[in-house]
């Protein structure tokens, strides 16, 4: 029986070792789950932080687009300024032509008035005699 006892003790020890190994596996699995949960949480935080930043490629593309838009607006503004200047020059020239024409008409009118005054004076002088 001693031999049977020795086997029984050995079997009990081995069973205890197997159970201890099973408990350790369960504890290790829980630890892995905890660590994985922490890593997932840290990853979520990193994703949120990274969402606040713009990649350099996206930034550079946005800046190129912005520069192109600014250049387009500048070109249009220059074209509008040129058109306004041309229109103002045309209006000024037309106004000057009208003023010159009106001035000529006024001069003619004044000439006619002076001529009529002279004629009236001559007629009155002739009538007085």
**pTM of this prediction exceeds 0.85:** no
3-state DSSP assignment of residue 54 = coil
| Rounded distance between C-alpha atoms, residue 96 and residue 121, angstroms | 37
State in Å, rounded, how far the first CA of the chain is from the last one.
185
Here the tokens at position 84 are: 């306004």
| Rounded distance between C-alpha atoms, residue 111 and residue 117, angstroms | 10
Beta carbons within 10 angstroms of residue 16's beta carbon: 10
Per-residue pLDDT of the chain (129 residues), as tens digits, is 688 888 889 999 999 999 999 999 999 999 999 999 999 999 999 989 988 888 899 999 999 999 999 999 999 999 999 999 999 999 999 999 999 999 989 999 898 999 999 999 888 888 887
């Amino acid at each position: 029986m001693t031999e049977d006892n020795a086997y029984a003790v050995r079997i009990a020890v081995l069973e205890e070792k197997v159970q201890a190994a099973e408990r350790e596996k369960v504890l290790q699995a829980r630890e892995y789950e905890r660590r994985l949960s922490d890593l997932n949480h840290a990853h979520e935080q990193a994703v949120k932080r990274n969402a606040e930043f713009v990649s350099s490629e996206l930034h550079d593309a946005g800046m190129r687009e912005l520069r192109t838009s600014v250049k387009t607006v500048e070109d249009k503004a220059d074209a509008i300024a040129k058109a306004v200047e041309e229109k103002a020059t045309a209006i000024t020239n037309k106004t000057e032509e009208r003023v010159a024409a009106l001035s000529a008409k006024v001069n003619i009118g004044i000439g006619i008035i002076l001529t009529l005054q002279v004629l009236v004076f001559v007629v009155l002088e002739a009538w007085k005699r």
